[in-house]
Structure 1
Amino acid sequence: MATMFAGGLSLAATVPRRIPIISMSATRVSGDKTDWMEATSTFFDKDSRPIMLYDGVCNLCNGGVKFVRDNDRNRYEALQSESGKMLLRRSGRNPDDISSVVLVEKERSYIKSEAVLKIMEYINLPFPQLALFLNLVPLFIRDFAYDNVANNRYNIFGKSESCEIYADQ
């Protein structure tokens, strides 16, 4: 299945990782016999850059993708798209789960605050340094803050009828 991704990515500064949130060895959603690692391997054949999955109708998420796009080049895909659903499965998540930003790398995926910090590592200065600093905050505190914003994002920032990112192109 061919898919189009917007943008590109340059790996500026990177920060050493502690542990990946989701190992790609756990690529099967319960009851699903498909090997989603294999099924989505073509997404990384010609371009090994990570893919940022985001809620395509969330105004906060669209703003975040626009910011990343303007400050560095990234591949990104809406969670609601067919490619997004396949990559969610690859990450061991339900294909209808739009509750979190997900960053999918060739060998692993990151969710919630870990995904945000990993995305920050790919953006130009000062974001990699800010990510390094924020990594000092315990994961449960970062994810608690992330969940509070994510659970209220439509109420605070609003919701679009369709994905604004692909309408901009």
Structure 2
Amino acid sequence: MSADAGHPVIVFDGVCVLCSRWVDFILRHDRDGRFRLAAMQGVGGRALLAAHGLSPDDPSSFLLVEDGVGYSNTDAIARVLRQLGGRWRLAGSLMRVMPRAVRDPLYRWVARHRYRLFGKRDQCRLPAPDEAWRFID
């Protein structure tokens, strides 16, 4: 599976409260509708994770697939922020200033503990009817 009709796809953990808030952030700030979203619990999200060497059963990585290339962890987050423009472009650029050897371990620690820190839903986040076109699956 590749990105949806040339759109970058963000694969997220649909039951993670922090991840759902990230999705809300994307929906609010991606006014051009550039990004598509796929829950890692869905068929499309699982396929993208597997295609890019990430375990669909270990939801500790954030994945952005753009032009057939997979970006994970803080590289993915920085790329998304830079594409949102404005102050988010600056935040994404500043994020890249910190060495990956520092930012990725910090990201992985939060990812491993995200359910305990932020909570977990009983079921995947469902899009509102006016958002459904942005979601794969």
| TM-score, length-scaled by structure 1 | 0.70
| Alignment equivalent of 1:121, drawn from 72, 76, 82 | 82
- Sequence identity of aligned pairs in percent? 32
1:129 to partner: Cα distance: 1.4
Q: Give the 3-state SS of the residue equivalent to 1:52 in structure 2.
A: strand
Question: Does structure 1 residue 101 correspond to structure 2 residue 59?
Answer: no
1:105 to partner: Cα distance: 1.2
Q: Which runs of 5+ in 2 are unaligned?
A: 130-137
Question: Does structure 1 residue 168 correspond to structure 2 residue 120?
Answer: no
Distance in 2 between residues matched to 1:143 and 1:109, nearest whole Å: 16
1:168 to partner: Cα distance: 3.0
Structure number with larger C-alpha Rg: 1
Question: Does structure 1 residue 70 correspond to structure 2 residue 28?
Answer: yes
Distance in 2 between residues matched to 1:59 and 1:126, nearest whole Å: 24
Runs of 4+ in structure 1 off by over 6 angstroms are: none
Distance in 1 between residues matched to 2:99 and 2:36, nearest whole Å: 28
Q: Give the 3-state SS of the residue equivalent to 1:104 in structure 2.
A: strand
Q: What amino acid is the match of 1:68?
A: I
Count of equivalent residues: 126
Q: Give the 3-state SS of the residue equivalent to 1:103 in structure 2.
A: strand
| TM-score, length-scaled by structure 2 | 0.85
What is the alpha-carbon root mean square deviation over aligned residues?
1.4
Q: What amino acid is the match of 2:12?
A: Y
Distance in 2 between residues matched to 1:135 and 1:81, nearest whole Å: 30
Question: Does structure 1 residue 58 correspond to structure 2 residue 13?
Answer: no
